[in-house]
Structure 1
């Protein structure tokens, strides 16, 4: 499968944001590398802006340091993902929205559900529909668990 690259953003903004967060949350590149299994020299390339992470690498880094991948790469949405309790209250109104309405509201991705996770599920064959249909289903599972 072809690796998806992130496009259309400022490398230096991502590098600065990532550098600040790695230093404050992960401590060292070696520590982050040990948890994410991304080589520390590649992480260093991300921090200096000389190389761009793939969507999967970005999602892995973001989840490891408890940040939203959309915020980390693009400055979209909140930096930190909310707790389940907060998410249930804050995003409950999104349950009324169709996948197309969710897309219109958030454009890039829903603040709670990153595209890299959806891509993993598609690659594994566990989910075959589009991202916004998947995000809508994930909202229902989170807010109205059965």
Structure 2
């Protein structure tokens, strides 16, 4: 299966955001490569804007640097991912919502669980339900006792 590519966005915007975040976190490309299992030369291509990451690569990079993939790629939503503790408190009321109610409340995407991550789980065969059903399940898992 061919990896899903991100289309219809400005590669230079992603490149600029990614370069700034890598630099501000004082992470070398080799360190980021080791953490993401993405070759350093590919990461360099993403930062220079000569190559576009797949959705899986984007989600992996964003997770490692603690950023929202939607913000990294498109500038949508908050840049930083909230901590589990703050997310539990802030979105606790979403637990009682059905997938349809979540969709009505947030319209496009839940602030914590972006569609890129859901697409990656579908592609990996981990989760096959619709986006809002997946989001409801992620909320339940977030709030389950550790």
Q: TM-score, normalised by structure 2?
A: 0.85
Q: Residues 60-81 of structure 1: CA distance to partner in whole angstroms, max 9, x if unpaired?
A: 1111111111111111111111
Distance of 1:13 and 1:140 partners within structure 2: 34
- Point out where structure 1 has 5 or more consecutive residues left out of the alignment: none
User: Which structure 2 segments of 5+ residues have no match?
Assistant: none
Paired position in structure 1 for 2:137: 137
Note the alpha carbon deviations across 1:97-119, whole angstroms, 9 max, x for none.
43244345445532222334434
Report the Cα offset of residue 127 of structure 1: 2.2
Aligned length: 146
Per-residue displacement from partner, 1:7-64 (whole Å, max 9, x unpaired)? 2211111111000001122521111112211111111111111111001000111111
TM-score (norm 1): 0.85
Give the CA RMSD over aligned residues: 2.2
Shift of 1:3: 0.7
Q: Secondary structure at the match of 1:45?
A: helix
Q: CA 1:125–1:43 in structure 2 vs 1: closer, same or farther (change >3 Å)? A: closer
